[in-house]
Structure 1
Amino acid sequence: MHRLHGLDALRGMAALVVLFMHVFGFAAGHLTVDFFFMLSGYVMTRTYEERLAGGGLSPLRFLAARYRRLWAPMAGGVTLGFIVYLARGGPLVDGTIAYGLGLMMVPAGATTPFLLNLAAWSIFYELLANAGHAAVFARMGNRALFGLLGICASMLVAATALVEFPRILAVTSLEIQLLVIPRALTSYLIGILAFRLLRDRPVLPIPLWAGLIALPAYAALVAFAPFPLWQLPFIFAIAPVMLASGLAPAGASARLWEWLGNLSFPLYALHVPTIQFSAMAGLNAQATICLCLLVAIGWMLAERRLAGHRPRTSDALTIRYSTAR
């Protein structure tokens, strides 16, 4: 199955938006995670669903493959976060428990579930969505999936209107953690249905540049002119347009986009503790961004060196993030 370099470009751009959001603190950058969830649903369907539905790949083997794919950068992020936590004088027992659970990529409690690396929250929910995909969604028809999407989307809209848009912050609650589940599933299910219905062929041709500027432009709009429920148009309209734009041919920029896509997950996994280290060292915003990029590039090159020149697997486009997730 050929690689979709446009999706690589979008992954890289989205990871950069997350980095800039955490350095400069602007609104709407956290919606990048919803795009990562959607992209994960699309790519997992494209790559694995036929085997999952047909019994050629068991849910357990699929989840084991996902863990192997995601674990090393996340372990690096939580380890760096543990070092920063200890340097700040955090309680050793709490930090050690959080570190052990962080290595397993699971929450460490109700109020500070991702104490050592906040970015890990989206990976946990992506894995939950992956588990649901392997166990249930892959065997559901489109009509049933649309029904499930309607339920999840209704729960997300209700939570946003009545409580708040569910997102995991440094300090949160069990209730918010539960409300994030329909948020993650809404975007993930849209991704599944997008591949089933489009099969790499968008209804209307959308240029890649439009997808690349959509998220930064929406973040700028929200920063200057916020409006009620502003998170929802991104999930239900902007993110699907971005996904469709990534299906366009990459042309001469394919190698650049592939490089950017390969960088996106190490950058996402490692940037939060790197920012915390930069704050301890008194670095300014520009130096912090440069350090985050250098750490991610170093990790990517080290992984490539360790992996040697083995052929790429069919999982080459998985997130993290998506994206992550």
Structure 2
Amino acid sequence: MSKAPQTSRIGARELVKARDLARGGPLDALRFFAAFFMVIYHYAEQAPVSLFAIHPALGRGYLATDFFLMLSGYVLGRAYGDRVASREVGDREFLLKRFARVWPSHLVMLAGFVALILATTLIGIAPQNPQWFQWSQLPAQALLVQSWGFDGPSGWNTPTWTLSALIFCYAAFPVLWRMFAAIRSPWLAMAVGAAIFVVVDLACRYWLGQASYRLALKYGVIRALPLFLIGVLIARMGREIVVSGRAADLLGAAAIAGVVVLQLVGQFDYASLALLGVLIFAAGASVRKDWGWAKTAGGLAFALYLTNQFVGVVWFGAQNVAAGKLALNDGAMWLTWALAFPAAVVFAAMFERFVDTPLQAWVKPRVGVGTLRSMFRARPSMWRRVVG
């Protein structure tokens, strides 16, 4: 009699592990749509009529970014939680692996921006928004520390402020996972995480005059960390609370409908963020793993996030030049604006295929366990010079 519940729990855990390894389902679809909604938000003001003026809901693109931050915490929790807890992956090794995943491609894209600005300046074309391309901001961008409280606009490849904030979150992840693992109940752990989010939000409203989940880019770490933590705790719930595939699908559909309705009727950010968290949980619990398109789309998410600003600068700069020379009417302006979205996806696919994938193939063997251990143990003086 006493062994039946234990067998059930073991079976549930094995089911969860099997789901963790599967790709091509709702979770990959969410990764793509989170990135694509951020593209819509970034391109909204370039439309002939700003999308923000059409409906207030279109001005809440910050929720897509917040969703992306929660999703990042969830994905890392599901992929690395057990290995970090068991010390199979060391804290420094984990951080370097995550940094190596994002930094090389980020540098390539930043170099693309520099080449673009130098080339257009050389032929006498000034950027539409010169405040985005201040040379003084380039070092912080390159080092991915621009959202750690530095003054000045977060220009160049602006969306990478989230990468900057996530680097900090990556460093905190092993400690957060082990700390909250000490709380036996996943529900209590989530309640503590939600309380932290609310306290940080109230403090930001009082001292900074803005909700934490809408803070200026230079406060990106403050904005990201509570949301990332919520995602991590959703990952823990996903490991310990198993629901049926049908229940997960119904829960996800209800969460999507709830978010849409809330955006249409008013601004309910707390409720919207809670429903987005439910959506992440439901997507991770779903047994629908045979969406080949989702696997492909999910693989493009990082590249789309990293390259959309570059495409936008080039595309809308060319559109403005064409509008002046060809006297484009409103219909043509809307059409060329809309074509920016497939252009962004195509460019992201090319970047993923010809830049990001080859770079990772070169980098990954060089940040293996043995390499990292030798770097930290054999040459500690080198790291002291780097960090100190």
Q: Normalising TM by the smaller chain, what interval?
A: 0.7 to 0.9
Find the aligned partners of 1:212 and 1:290 in 2 and give their Cα distance. 29
Q: 1:53 to 1:206 in 2, by over 3 A?
A: closer
Match of 1:29 in 2: 61
Find the aligned partners of 1:304 and 1:83 in 2 and give their Cα distance. 19
Quick check: 1:157–1:232 contact (8 Å CA) kept in 2? no
What aligned pairs does 1:1-325 form with structure 2 within 5 A after superposition?
Answer: 2-4=21-23, 5-24=25-44, 25=51, 26-86=58-118, 87=120, 88=126, 95-107=134-146, 109-112=150-153, 114-140=154-180, 141-142=182-183, 146-147=191-192, 149-157=194-202, 159-160=204-205, 163-166=209-212, 172=216, 177-178=218-219, 180-199=220-239, 202-203=242-243, 205-207=247-249, 210=252, 214=256, 218=259, 221-222=262-263, 224-227=264-267, 230-253=268-291, 255-282=292-319, 284-303=336-355, 306=358
Render the CA deviation track for 1:46-70: whole Å, top value 9, x for unaligned: 2222232233322211111001111
Between Structure 1 and Structure 2, whose CA radius of gyration is higher? 2
Q: 1:167 to 1:50 in 2, by over 3 A?
A: closer
Find the aligned partners of 1:308 and 1:129 in 2 and give their Cα distance. 21
Render the CA deviation track for 1:152-197: whole Å, top value 9, x for unaligned: 322214535882234678xx4xxx744x444322222222222222
Quick check: 2:304–2:348 contact (8 Å CA) kept in 1? yes
Q: 1:183 to 1:208 in 2, by over 3 A?
A: farther
Find the aligned partners of 1:28 and 1:161 in 2 and give their Cα distance. 21
The structure with higher relative contact order (CA 8 Å, sep 6+) is 1
**SS of residue in 2 equivalent to 1:285:** helix
Identity within the alignment, %: 20
**SS of residue in 1 equivalent to 2:286:** coil
Find the aligned partners of 1:161 and 1:203 in 2 and give their Cα distance. 40
Render the CA deviation track for 1:75-106: whole Å, top value 9, x for unaligned: 233233334444336889x7444333322222
Match of 1:322 in 2: none
Find the aligned partners of 1:240 and 1:160 in 2 and give their Cα distance. 25
Find the aligned partners of 1:220 and 1:286 in 2 and give their Cα distance. 25
**SS of residue in 2 equivalent to 1:119:** helix
Q: Which runs of 5+ in 1 are unaligned?
A: 314-325
Q: 1:139 to 1:99 in 2, by over 3 A?
A: same
Opposite residue 98 of structure 1, the aligned amino acid is Q
Find the aligned partners of 1:286 and 1:116 in 2 and give their Cα distance. 23
Quick check: 2:26–2:289 contact (8 Å CA) kept in 1? no
**Aligned residue pairs, count:** 299
Q: Which runs of 5+ in 2 are unaligned?
A: 1-19, 45-50, 52-57, 121-125, 321-335, 366-388
Q: 1:117 to 1:167 in 2, by over 3 A?
A: farther
Find the aligned partners of 2:42 and 2:302 in 1 and give their Cα distance. 16
Give me the CA root mean square deviation: 3.5
